[in-house]
């Protein structure tokens, strides 16, 4: 399920240039700012200002590997995502068709040369569980390479995964995890 180009889209995270790039593909994209101190009620209020959302694009922050800011960075990431999911359920999106594109950067070890930043690796587990629980939500989760231009056309044409499996982009190549039988 690839959202229509006219899909009402919410963009969370990222920067203005990334928002502009996404708006070139999905013109009806609006930024949704989620703050660390947002409550469920404040998030529900923010969501109610955006009627009939069809697609959520969440771009996890790109953080340094500074141990002192690890916990606060997670609060600005996976805990906010959790609050958003709960708020969406609070405004009856649990039974609606909703496309998700969740983007992280270098949270998964794909190549032996990858330096992994685990700060937002929890996104993969959380959104994977959500994909399995909410069958009407078409979820794609992508782990991108650090300091690499966003291949948006490719990202938005990737399949969604009912199992919440991650696709990774490294050195102009796409990777997917696969279980193989071993004798």
**Beta-sheet strands, E only, within 119-162:** 137-144
70-101 pLDDT, tens digit per residue, is 556 655 677 888 999 999 999 999 999 999 99
Q: Is 9 helix (H, G, I), strand (E, B) or coil?
A: strand
Write the CA distances from 24 to 18, 28, 89, 117, 167, integer angstroms: 10, 9, 29, 30, 23
- Using one digit for the tens of pLDDT, what is the confidence trace for 25-67? 999 999 999 888 889 899 999 999 988 899 999 998 765 555 5
DSSP letter at 157 equals T
So what's the pLDDT on residue 2? 65
Of residues 118 and 41, the one with the higher pLDDT is: 41
Query: Looking at the predicted structure, is the pLDDT value of residue 178 above 70?
Result: yes
**Is pLDDT above 70 for 115?**
yes
């Amino acid at each position: 399920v690839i959202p229509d180009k006219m899909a009402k889209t919410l963009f969370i995270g990222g920067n203005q240039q990334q928002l502009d790039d996404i708006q070139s593909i999905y013109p009806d994209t609006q930024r949704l700012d989620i703050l660390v101190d947002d409550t469920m009620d404040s998030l529900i209020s923010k969501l109610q200002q955006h009627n009939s959302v069809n697609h959520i694009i969440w771009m996890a922050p790109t953080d340094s590997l500074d141990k002192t800011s690890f916990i606060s960075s997670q609060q600005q990431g996976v805990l906010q995502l959790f609050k958003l999911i709960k708020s969406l359920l609070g405004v009856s999106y649990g039974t609606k068709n909703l496309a998700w594109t969740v983007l992280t950067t270098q949270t998964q070890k794909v190549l032996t040369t990858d330096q992994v930043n685990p700060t937002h690796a929890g996104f993969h587990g959380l959104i994977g569980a959500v994909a399995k629980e909410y069958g009407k939500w078409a979820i794609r989760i992508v782990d991108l390479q650090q300091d690499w231009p966003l291949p948006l056309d490719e990202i938005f044409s990737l399949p969604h995964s009912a199992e919440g499996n991650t696709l990774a982009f490294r050195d102009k190549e796409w990777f997917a995890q696969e279980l193989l039988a071993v004798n």
